Chains A and B, each alone.
Chain A
Amino acid sequence: NAGVTQTPKFRVLKTGQSMTLLCAQDMNHEYMYWYRQDPGMGLRLIHYSVGEGTTAKGEVPDGYNVSRLKKQNFLLGLESAAPSQTSVYFCASRGGGSSYEQYFGPGTRLTVT
């Protein structure tokens, strides 16, 4: 039982390049989330999904797209990376109901030069 995993762990991109971050969970959770964490700003929600095939925007969605084709996977895409997207990205999942505990992956450190 691996919980929530993320790939890759680190990535350096040049401005304008694209990439996809993969999040996978093996807990059969309905809800999945993508956050970014910047110094002094806590975690901010980028996009989320309430089930397979559904996605929605969070607080800071601009410049990102997501897809949830399978229940266990949630992909975050950057179509044209910008230096402002340099950050640490965390994926999380949650089972549902009245427990709001989210389980986090280990994070992806992305640098855009």
Chain B
Amino acid sequence: EDKVVQSPLSLVVHEGDTVTLNCSYEVTNFRSLLWYKQEKKAPTFLFMLTSSGIEKKSGRLSSILDKKELFSILNITATQTGDSAVYLCANAGGTSYGKLTFGQGTILTVHP
């Protein structure tokens, strides 16, 4: 059974701090690893990672995948209060219908 575990479950920082969110996974047939940001409503897509060692970057957010060690990290530099959200990691594996197995999420709170 596919499994995704995120750590930490919650994190409180101050504006300007840098944070690293972790995601480890077990999957029978790896296809992709995805990161989403969820504020009060729908999860919104951040990154999709397919290859090891290639960093994806968008502004202050970046992510990388290690397929040998079966984990991914999401980095946020110079955090802002608007980064406060739940960050979800999901694995697209197994079958071709694109099922996503989600982790529990990391609740990030950024204080001014």
Q: Is A bound to B?
A: yes
CA of A40 to CA of B32 in the docked complex: distance in angstroms?
A: 23
Q: B102, A101: Cβ atoms under 8 Å? A: no
Q: A58, B99: Cβ atoms under 8 Å? A: yes
Residues of A within 8 A of B12 (CB): none
CA of A98 to CA of B44 in the docked complex: distance in angstroms?
A: 19
Asked if A34 lies at the interface with its beta carbon under 8 angstroms from chain B, I say no
- The B76-112 residues at the A interface (CB cut-off 8 A) are 88, 90, 92, 97-100, 102-105
Residues of B within 8 A of A42 (CB): 4, 88, 102-105
Q: B99, A94: Cβ atoms under 8 Å? A: no
Asked if B31 lies at the interface with its beta carbon under 8 angstroms from chain A, I say yes
Q: B92, A41: Cβ atoms under 8 Å? A: no
Given contacts A42-B104, A101-B48, contact A107 B98 (CB under 8 A): no
A interface residue numbers (CB < 8 A to B)? 4, 31, 33, 40-45, 48, 50, 56, 58, 90, 94, 96, 98-107
Q: How large is the interface on B (under 10, 10 to 19, 20 to 34, 35 or more residues)?
A: 20 to 34
Residues of A within 8 A of B42 (CB): 4, 90, 104-107
Q: B92, A100: Cβ atoms under 8 Å? A: yes
CA of A11 to CA of B97 in the docked complex: distance in angstroms?
A: 30
B interface residue numbers (CB < 8 A to A)? 4, 9, 31-32, 34, 41-45, 48, 88, 90, 92, 97-100, 102-105
Given contacts A31-B97, A106-B41, contact A101 B104 (CB under 8 A): no
Given contacts A42-B103, A101-B48, contact A31 B98 (CB under 8 A): yes
**A2 CB to nearest B CB, Å:** 13
Residues of A within 8 A of B88 (CB): 42-43
Residues of B within 8 A of A106 (CB): 41-42
Closest to A6 in B: B42
Q: B97, A48: Cβ atoms under 8 Å? A: yes
Residues of A within 8 A of B103 (CB): 42
Q: B48, A100: Cβ atoms under 8 Å? A: yes
